[in-house]
Structure 1
């Protein structure tokens, strides 16, 4: 109960202060970089679904996983962004991103109770692909640090939304909450298959 209230307060604070943070960058390159970075994870269903599934997966595991799983995703994603931004090649990036939606959706749908370390490793693997895509698509005139801050904050926000959805559904219906969350995971996995097949 207290954890749910804390997470929801954190989400509300993020939503309230985020516009202020974006406007705090006064240089054109910084502002442009932050806004481009922030919008990139929100620009496609693959990123949105994968990152929301990370939040739902963390919620299903509970306890330390609530922060360790999303934190590991963000940390590895930052490394992937650095590699992409400096031109270091990572093979099968788009395939890895589509697979992340399939696998993470399936993990949520099946209610997999993985050890926290295994969950961190799984999301970290896929975070590399997402981060590389963010870094490789950074506009030339964007400030790198501001751009990275933008996509990392957007990712954290999507993770918090995933955790928040889990908490709200779980609180609203203890009996059917898991069914609804697992169904959402299944729909995400099916969407991921469509992305992988190139039909979406």
Structure 2
């Protein structure tokens, strides 16, 4: 079995497990078990987080080389730092707007096959990751174990990146690139919707 097949199978099984987690456990949100469940479900049930994290994996696959692995590593690491800021209630400017922009910009990058220097791509990803992490940290359930919660959303984020990389691998097949660009356009459209919604709330 190839590495790509293993990654795909692992991501599918883990995502299914997270999504089918006991609702009572997710709502309990206490201790290690509740923290882990809440952390796993937070990126998966927040569409603004989900689409951006999938886009990171796709864009990394499109850029190729080290980007396919480094971008999905940079994002969770920096996101964890942002989560600490959120847990400590250290504010960031217009977080909802930046999170919405992440979906719009990353979706456009995928749809238009935007190629930038590796360092620039990592920097863009890192900026967005701080805000996504801050949102996760700020929504830490009061009785949940913070470390378990953090492990949960980092694992879920990694799985979403893996799904994005798998989608990016479709480029090897006839017509695959059009599918990828279509997914990117859909992500950008959702990001645009979230952006308009966040501006409406801000107004």
1:8 aligns with 2:5: yes
Residues 47-66 of structure 1 correspond to what in structure 2 (within 5 A)? 47-66=49-68
Matches within 5 A, 1:98-137: 98-137=100-139
Aligned to 1:25: none
Matched with 2:201 is none
How big is the shift at 1:170? 2.0
Task: Look up the match of 2:141.
Answer: 139
* Contact residue 55 and residue 159 of structure 1 kept, 8 A: yes
For 1:187 and 1:8, how far apart are their aligned partners in 2?
25
Kept in 2, the 8 Å contact 1:11–1:157? The answer is no
> 1:132 is paired with a residue of what secondary structure?
helix
Q: Structure 1: state its 5+ residue gaps.
A: 23-27
**Aligned equivalents of 1:157, 1:118: Cα separation in 2:** 24
- 1:52 and 1:154 map into 2 onto residues whose CA distance is 11
Distance 2:4 2:141 in 1: 33
Report what 1:183 is aligned to: 182
Report the equivalent of 1:39: 41
CA distance in 1, matches of 2:14, 2:184: 30
TM-score by length of 2: 0.86
Question: SS of the residue aligned with 1:133?
Answer: helix
Note the C-alpha offset of 1:12: 2.0
Q: Which residue of 2 aligns with 1:73?
A: 75
Give the total of aligned pairs.
189
User: Given the two structures, how large is their TM-score scaled by the length of structure 1?
Assistant: 0.87
Asked if 1:170 corresponds to 2:171, the answer is yes
Separation of aligned partners in 1, 2:101 and 2:13: 33
Tell me, yes or no, if the aligned pair for 1:98 and 1:193 is still in contact at 8 Å.
yes
Q: Distance in 2 between matches of 1:187 and 1:61?
A: 19
Q: Which ranges in structure 2 are unaligned for 5 or more consecutive residues?
A: 22-29, 199-203
Q: Deviations over 1:117-140 (max 9, x none)?
A: 111111111011100000000001
Aligned mates of 1:102, 1:68 — CA distance in 2: 21
Matched, 1:157 2:159: yes
